[in-house]
Structure formats: C-alpha cells, structure tokens
A and B are shown apart, each in its own frame.
Chain A
Amino acid sequence: MSPDEATLSLLAGGLLDEEDRAIFASLARMVDVADPVPEGLVDRIGMALTIEALHAEVAELRLVGEPALAVRADETSIEAGTITFTTDVLTVMISVHPEAGLIRVDGWAAPAEEIEVELHQGGDMTVTTSDEDGRFSFVDVERGPARLVLRRPSDPTVPVVTPQIEL
C-alpha cells in the first residue's frame, strides 16, 4: 500500500532523526560491501598524484632479453625481469631477483653519477643513492606495482620517472 500524499509530505518535512541516521549508517555499510572500492585504487591514485606533482620526465620502457619472460599478458603492468628505461637524458636498467619471499632490485643508471633513486610502492617510498658508477639496489622489497623516481645532481629540477612496473 502506498502512503497518501499528506503522510509523505509530513515525513518529508520532518527533521532527520536517529532512525534516519541509523538507516544511512546501515546503507553506507551495505553499499560498501556490495560494491567495494577496488583494492589498491587509493594507492594507485596517490602514486599518480605524486608523479604528477613532480612535473617529471617520464621514461620510455624498453624490454631487454626475452620479452616472453618479462611480460605477462594477464597483468595490467609489466612483470619485471630485466628492464631498461630510457629518456633523452638517462638510461636505467633494472633486474629483479626473488629472495626469501621478497625481492631484491639491482639497477644501473647511465650516464654515471651519484643519482638519488626512489622506489615508490603504493603510498610508501624508499630512497637510496647510486654509487659513482650509477649502480644501486633495493633489498627486502615487497612484490607489487612500483615506480622508480631518479634525481640527477646534474639536473635536479627534472626528475626521471619510470612507468609502473610489476615487481
């Protein structure tokens, strides 16, 4: 039975009460459960905004070695094995090695100088500095999507950012 117009108007003009708030609370919870925000979306947005804020030069990706090993069709980002990134100003090569459930990332940047290298994963960031030959490494890295941001002392205003890779 549908309520008459007078009843509806009275209800509609009434102030929100505790029962309305309880309804909203239940509804919000059920909406979130029925259609949850995909896992990782907030982190990916955070990462994208970080990169955007850097006004960085985004490196192109070149796969080295056997592409069949390096790329997995069912992943949205690239499964890292050995990968090279290039820009006009910098070339970076990284290789990924599993180590006791975690991974180690070894990298090398050219032209060689002591480059500050950041590894971004979700909201987290780890920093290291390359040696004077441009070599750097990250140990005990979690698997998952990641980016490198490289800052060169010779041109600190333009950082180089790699595309997202799947470690």
Chain B
Amino acid sequence: MMSDDLVEPVDTALRDQGEGLADQAARAVLAYRAGETAPLAALVQVMTPLLWHTVRAQGADQEQAQDIVQNVWLTLVRDIEQIRDPRATLQWMLVTAKRAAWRTVRRSRDEQVRQTNDEHATDWLTAPAEDLPESVAVRSERDEALWNHVRVLPDRCRKLLGLVAMVERPDYAVVSRALGMPVGSIGPTRGRCLAKLRAALAADPTWSTS
C-alpha cells in the first residue's frame, strides 16, 4: 500500500501533463484543421521514432514497418476532421500502429511455411549485447548489464520499458495504455516491469559497483 507522502502534489502532475507528445499531437491536429500544417510536420519529426519502435516491437520487418508508419500518418490526415478528442490523438496513433503491425505480421506468417520458433516472432530488444553495433550502442559495462537484463524480461515488460523510455513522463500512461498495460503501470510509480529490472540490476555487481 502506498502512503500519502509518496503521492505527487496535484499541481506538479497537472503541469507535467501539458508538456508531452500527447499534448503536442493535440495542438498539431487543431492547427492542421485551422489550415496550419507546420505543427504536424514538426510532430512527424518527433513522433515517428516512437511509432517506428512500436511497430517493430510487434514483429514487423523493416519494409513492413515503413509502410505501416507512413500509413498511420496518412490515415490521421485523412480522418483529421473526425477526431472528436484531439488529446487522444497520440493514443489513437499508437493503437492504430500496433494493430496494423499485428495484422501485417499475422498475414506474412500465414504466407510463410510454418517455422519452428514461431512464438519468438519478434526479436525486438532480444539481441545479445555483444551483437549490438559496437561502441555506439554499449558505452560501458553498465550499459551492457542493463541491456542484458532488459532482454531477458518477459516480452510485455521489454516492450513497455523500451517504448516508455522513448517518451517523457506525461506520456508514460498513454504508451502503457496503448500497449494494453494497466493504467499507471509506469509513472508516477515504477510499476512491476521496472521494479523487476531494478531488482535484477541491484543483484548484478557489474551494475551496482560501477
């Protein structure tokens, strides 16, 4: 049970709400409807990486993922007048991207000859640290320890942490919800996935002594 002093002051929580991607997306949608396209162009810059990794986390290959991400943006623009709550734009886009990726992955799996390791359709964040592009990816022993603990987490935790890491705090809950995780699974508290990672790191001398 959480004691009162662990709960953030309300005004802090509210202030943070206004600074994330969800808010930027809402403003871009409203601006676009008013005939101003620059905010949406800026949103494409900052949000495409999150969409990309969301789609890749579902197991879509590079080629498929590019088409899916581009289509999510085109769909947004085509349906932009129909969006009732612009503040839900980020969540809508993440869910749309995720579902499109599911459909694509399922279709291409149906087309393929059945493979033996089908349950590991996604290799997202599962590559051993030594397979990562050297020197850029893993800067230190701590990075290597972190990566190796993340990649052995349950699939849903790995996806959640990998994607939440890409956004700022106001968007944590949106990303969690879009992935089908319970509200509040990360932020303001850690939630169980991050707790598992912290526990694993605490038990790893490579991490805790450096």
Contacts and interface: CB of A to CB of B under 8 A. Distances in A.
| A is bound by B | yes
Contacts of B44: 42, 45-46, 49
Contacts of B146: 23, 26-27, 30
B189 A41 contact: no
**Max chain B C-beta neighbours (<10 A), residue from A7, A9, A41, A44:** A41
Contact of B6 (A14, A26, A45): A14
Q: Which bucket holds chain B's interface residue count?
A: 35 or more
Contact of A37 (B49, B124, B162, B199): B49
A105 B38 CA distance: 28
Contacts of A3: 196, 199, 203
A49 B77 contact: yes
Nearest to A9: B195
Interface stretch (B67-75, B81-89, B91-99, B100-108): B67-75
Contact of A12 (B136, B150, B188, B195): B195
Secondary structure dominating the interface of A: helix
Secondary structure dominating the interface of B: helix
Interface stretch (B19-27, B113-121, B125-133): B125-133
Interface in A1-49: 1-3, 7-9, 11-16, 19-20, 23-28, 30-35, 37-38, 41-42, 44-46, 48-49
A62 B1 CA distance: 69
B48 interface: yes
Contact of B73 (A14, A37, A48): A48
A66 interface: no
Contact of B41 (A1, A9, A20, A123): A123
A12 B194 contact: yes
Contacts of A155: none
A41 B48 contact: yes
Interface residues of A, number: 39
A11 B2 contact: no
A27 B150 contact: yes
Given A41-B69, A42-B44, A52 B74 contact: yes
Given A11-B198, A13-B2, A42-B48, A28 B41 contact: no
Contacts of A7: 199
Contacts of B183: none
Interface of A: 1-3, 7-9, 11-16, 19-20, 23-28, 30-35, 37-38, 41-42, 44-46, 48-50, 52-53, 123
6 contacts: A8-B192, A11-B194, A16-B194, A27-B150, A38-B62, A45-B70
